[in-house]
Structure 1
Amino acid sequence: MAELETRELEYFVAVAEELHFGRAAARLAIAQPALSKAIRRLESRLGVQLLVRSSRHVALTPAGEALLHHGRHALNAVSAAIEKARRAVDRQAHLRLVIKPGGDANLLSGILAAYADQPDARQVDILFGGATDRADHVRDGRADAALLYVPFDDMTGLDHVTLTVEGRVAILPPDHRLAARPEVTLADLAQETLPRWKGVRWTGAPEGGLGPEVTDAAEVLHMVRLGRTIAMLPRSLAQPTHPDLVYRPVTDAPHSELVLAWARDDRRPMVASFVAAAVDAAGTA
């Protein structure tokens, strides 16, 4: 990088994520004055102000927001390049698939069986990620492939194939005003309190009341049982159903897609073979 070194980018991303020079310095294991000096030097060389500093807080400028967004992807790309270079010479490398618990629409067993029948099949290591970080596992080389949900997951830098398309259901307490209906619409949910998914910008749900922040389906169901929110989930993520809750189809909600994703520049036969087996097992060829 002519104007931006990888280490400087790491420093900036740490400060931008922590919004606190002391915490960022501790995270990076460097002295706070050295970190502050590095950020000022970076701003001077780029000719833009990245951070607004005061005695009480640190905030990102629009330029800082842009550098944080693209800087994360750049650091992921560097990490992925290093990891893939190391793994390219490892003929015994396992294939690493990242999923979230319950996030396979009951397809994973069939996919693994179909892949095991391939003559070049490798051992598959299953990794578990959170609601929004699984794509990053692929981008930074921690995983070779991921099961993701479109449109919820960030697909930047990834190729993917759709394994199944499904509708969504509203999850309600049994005494809710909509519970007696056989199905509901987005308009029915428009005034309801809905959860905020951490790290997800758009879910296709109407903008209702400001509900609790959640990170996975288990948290959502717990909050619904407590009466703090209702929820709208892809049908497969709402399984198994909970006996204390009511599930109703949302007839006009945008469909969600369960996809198998891999890095856009990954042309390894191991990954291609796994993708082909998944497509065959899911019946989407």
Structure 2
Amino acid sequence: MGIDTSPISIARFRRYRGGMETRELRYFVTVAEELHFGRAAQRLGIAQPPLSRAIGQLERRLGVTLLERTSRSVALTAAGSVLLREGRAALDAVEAAERRTRRTALAATGSPGLVLVTKAGAAGELLPKLLDAYAAEPGAVAVDVLLCGIGEQERLLRDGRADVALLHRPFDSASGFDTEELRTEGQIVVLPARHSLASRAHVLMADITALPGLPMPRWPNLDGTYPDGPGPQVRDHTQLLQTIALGRAAAVLPESTRAYLPSGLAAVPVLDAPEVTTLIAWPPHSRSQAVAGLVRAATRL
């Protein structure tokens, strides 16, 4: 679900439940994440007694207990868990609005305007074509390209550090964004060129899952941890391709990846793999003419 960072939404947040302030919510979120008043105070750069008083005042104003405290531990109540989840989203919304406001002011003074975020190695030939097409648009501004890790585009777009993103469904979530579909393609399995499947015209997903000694790689979760499994941990496409070349993994990737594979790797179409749709996405409240121009250029490609 998208975060509404409109001025009206933020004003409502600042008046939330009888006058909750951004400062108070930031205090609570920090304590809830640390579950320790001393560490939270150190992280916030304040003394512990005023932090404890602020949390107590917040609980009295809301009329609920947010934290269960003993001499040895601090734990979230059910109400505290709700406020932690909603509070993080609200603070993210405020920070995103501040970033976008500053960038809008910079753009008005003639400073560089757009930040486009995409996964490193995932946009293929589409990205340079898009940048060239947009550069030919009347009134085009400079575009800074931010290359990120797996699954980071959504967060960077949502928190205001990017104006527009290239997402890939079904891997990335476009919930809460305005989007335009740019292309849909099949997928391939990338293998060491010497592997027995490399000479096949096509394979099925069942063929891949049965590969001895070539497990699927494990990508990091949004919190930086890795899921359990036998596959090697990888952070980006460069590391992934090196791991495959060493004969330690295989990976199912969009068909457009084929054009950028180094020597020593083979690509075989996977007939029953889900199709991948590339989207251009932007915040629904955006009024940027530069974003509109970039989207127009993208949809004409």
TM-score (norm 2): 0.73
Over 3 Å counting, the alpha-carbon distance change for 1:53 and 1:235 in structure 2 is farther
1:157-211: per-residue Cα shift (whole Å, max 9, x none)? 311111121211112234545334222111222345222221269xxxxx99542
2:166 is paired with a residue whose SS is strand
Residues paired across the two proteins, number: 275
Select the residue among 169, 175, 180 that pairs with 1:161: 180
For the pair 1:81 / 2:103, whether they are aligned, the reply is no
- In structure 1, how many angstroms separate the alpha carbons of the residues matched to 2:63 and 2:237? 42
Tell me if the contact between 1:168 and 1:255 (Cα under 8 Å) persists in the aligned partners.
yes
Over 3 Å counting, the alpha-carbon distance change for 1:64 and 1:105 in structure 2 is farther
- In structure 1, how many angstroms separate the alpha carbons of the residues matched to 2:52 and 2:257? 44
Over 3 Å counting, the alpha-carbon distance change for 1:16 and 1:175 in structure 2 is farther
> How far off its partner does 1:66 sit?
5.9
Select the residue among 195, 204, 208 that pairs with 2:217: 195
Q: Percent identity?
A: 45
Over 3 Å counting, the alpha-carbon distance change for 1:266 and 1:251 in structure 2 is same
- In structure 1, how many angstroms separate the alpha carbons of the residues matched to 2:138 and 2:122? 27
Tell me if the contact between 2:117 and 2:147 (Cα under 8 Å) persists in the aligned partners.
yes
Provide structure 1 residue ranges, at least 5 long, that are not aligned to the other structure: 202-206
Tell me if the contact between 2:152 and 2:222 (Cα under 8 Å) persists in the aligned partners.
no
> How far off its partner does 1:107 sit?
1.9
Taking only aligned residues, the RMSD between alpha carbons, in angstroms, comes to 3.7
Select the residue among 68, 71, 95 that pairs with 2:114: 95
2:117 is paired with a residue whose SS is strand
Larger Rg, first or second structure (1 or 2): 2
In the alignment, which residue of structure 1 is the partner of 2:140?
121
- In structure 2, how many angstroms separate the alpha carbons of the residues matched to 1:211 and 1:257? 26
Tell me if the contact between 2:164 and 2:283 (Cα under 8 Å) persists in the aligned partners.
yes
Tell me if the contact between 2:218 and 2:229 (Cα under 8 Å) persists in the aligned partners.
no
> Greater helix percent: which structure?
2
In the alignment, which residue of structure 1 is the partner of 2:10?
none
> How far off its partner does 1:268 sit?
2.1
1:197-254: per-residue Cα shift (whole Å, max 9, x none)? 21269xxxxx995423322212222332344332111223454113222221111111
Tell me if the contact between 2:178 and 2:284 (Cα under 8 Å) persists in the aligned partners.
yes
> How far off its partner does 1:10 sit?
3.7
In the alignment, which residue of structure 2 is the partner of 1:215?
235
> How far off its partner does 1:141 sit?
1.7
Over 3 Å counting, the alpha-carbon distance change for 1:271 and 1:21 in structure 2 is same
Provide structure 2 residue ranges, at least 5 long, that are not aligned to the other structure: 1-12
Over 3 Å counting, the alpha-carbon distance change for 1:49 and 1:14 in structure 2 is closer
> How far off its partner does 1:140 sit?
1.8
2:282 is paired with a residue whose SS is strand
- In structure 2, how many angstroms separate the alpha carbons of the residues matched to 1:186 and 1:59? 45
In the alignment, which residue of structure 2 is the partner of 1:204?
none
Over 3 Å counting, the alpha-carbon distance change for 1:18 and 1:224 in structure 2 is farther
1:53-84: per-residue Cα shift (whole Å, max 9, x none)? 9979x998887776555544333321222233
- In structure 2, how many angstroms separate the alpha carbons of the residues matched to 1:265 and 1:220? 36
In the alignment, which residue of structure 2 is the partner of 1:144?
163
Select the residue among 131, 144, 147 that pairs with 1:112: 131
> How far off its partner does 1:272 sit?
0.9
> How far off its partner does 1:9 sit?
4.2
> How far off its partner does 1:255 sit?
1.0
Tell me if the contact between 2:65 and 2:77 (Cα under 8 Å) persists in the aligned partners.
no
- In structure 2, how many angstroms separate the alpha carbons of the residues matched to 1:43 and 1:238? 57
2:23 is paired with a residue whose SS is helix
TM-score (norm 1): 0.76
Map 1:1-285; keep pairs closer than 5 Å: 1=13, 2-3=16-17, 5-11=21-27, 13-14=29-30, 27-30=43-46, 45=62, 47=64, 70-89=86-105, 90-91=107-108, 92-93=110-111, 94-191=113-210, 193-199=215-221, 209-237=229-257, 239-280=259-300, 282=301
- 175-184 vs 259-268, greater mean Cα deviation: 175-184
- In structure 1, how many angstroms separate the alpha carbons of the residues matched to 2:67 and 2:281? 33
